[in-house]
Amino acid sequence: MTKTSDTAARTSIEASALQLKLPTIRTNLDQIVEEAARHQTSHLDFLAEILATEVDTRNERRRARRTKEARFPRLKRLADFDTKHSPVNPATIATLAKGDYIKNGHPVVLLGDSGTGKSHLLIGLGHAACEQGHRVRYTTTAQLANELAEAQSDRQLSRLVARYGRYDLLCLDELGYVALDTQGAELIFQILTEREEKSSIAIATNLPFSEWHKVITDPRLAAAIVDRVTYNATIIETGTDSYRLKTSRGQNT
């Protein structure tokens, strides 16, 4: 091809990429063309390469968007969890990281004392789900109860419950740290019912199931919530020894 025809072809490709909303091809066209020429890539391989580049970039943007939408308070990864100082079985975490429990709509419950890594694992599971393209939302139990109560006051409860029902994974943290009044517990029960056997929920709590009545004062409601979150659930006990406290003591010795 002549230089003139090369220029025309580039202009045409850029215009088509703009219309088809393929920004990576527009931005990296020169680099891709030079690399293809250097490796004497066939036309078919060249087409495969530019499309794969666009797909990879688009997937990366989607993963970043999913992570931002999840509203994690901080970023934690499953790979960074210290299994050497925890009773948690690494094989269990590796299995959950694959995300099959999300596809099956099964719950996950993380039980353990403060500082044992519950929130780390909860956020890590959520982040892994975002990386796989799932829609995820993180919130604390108290925040969710307050959000639902405000929506009920504004007559927007059904819309909010439906929105929470559409997330592939709901990460509910700190169940047990703040007592829920009857209204708050009933509202959260609505979320659990909306998601039951359809969409996954992962819960981190410092209380064994037998003590959930301490923060959910209606015993029948407490029993119903336990029933919802334990059916087909993976239950992980993170122990009683605070990793944060142990680390702090080690730094001060």
Q: What is the pLDDT of residues 58-103, one digit of tens each?
A: 888 889 999 999 999 999 999 999 988 899 999 999 999 999 999 9
pLDDT for residue 1 = 47
Neighbours of 159 (CB within 10 A): 10
105 burial level (CB within 10 Å; 0-12, 13-18, 19+): middle
CA distances from 249 to 120, 176, 246 (A): 20, 26, 5
Does the structure show a pLDDT above 60 at 160? yes
pLDDT tens column, 114-159: 999 999 999 999 999 999 999 999 999 999 999 999 999 999 999 9
Lowest mean pLDDT, pick from 2-11, 56-65, 154-163 = 2-11
Domains of the chain: 3-70 (no CATH), 78-252 (3.40.50.300)
pLDDT for residue 29 = 78
Q: How confident is the model at residue 243 (pLDDT cuts 50, 70, 90)?
A: low
Q: How confident is the model at residue 55 (pLDDT cuts 50, 70, 90)?
A: confident
Two structure tokens written together for 134? 């799932």
Q: What is the pTM of this model?
A: 0.81
151 Cβ neighbours under 8 A, 6+ residues apart = 157, 159, 160
Q: What distance lies between CA 122 and its chain's CA centroid? A: 9
> Which residue has tokens 């500082």?
115
14 burial level (CB within 10 Å; 0-12, 13-18, 19+): middle
Check if the beta carbon of residue 66 is closer than 8 Å to that of residue 99: no
Check if the beta carbon of residue 218 is closer than 8 Å to that of residue 91: no
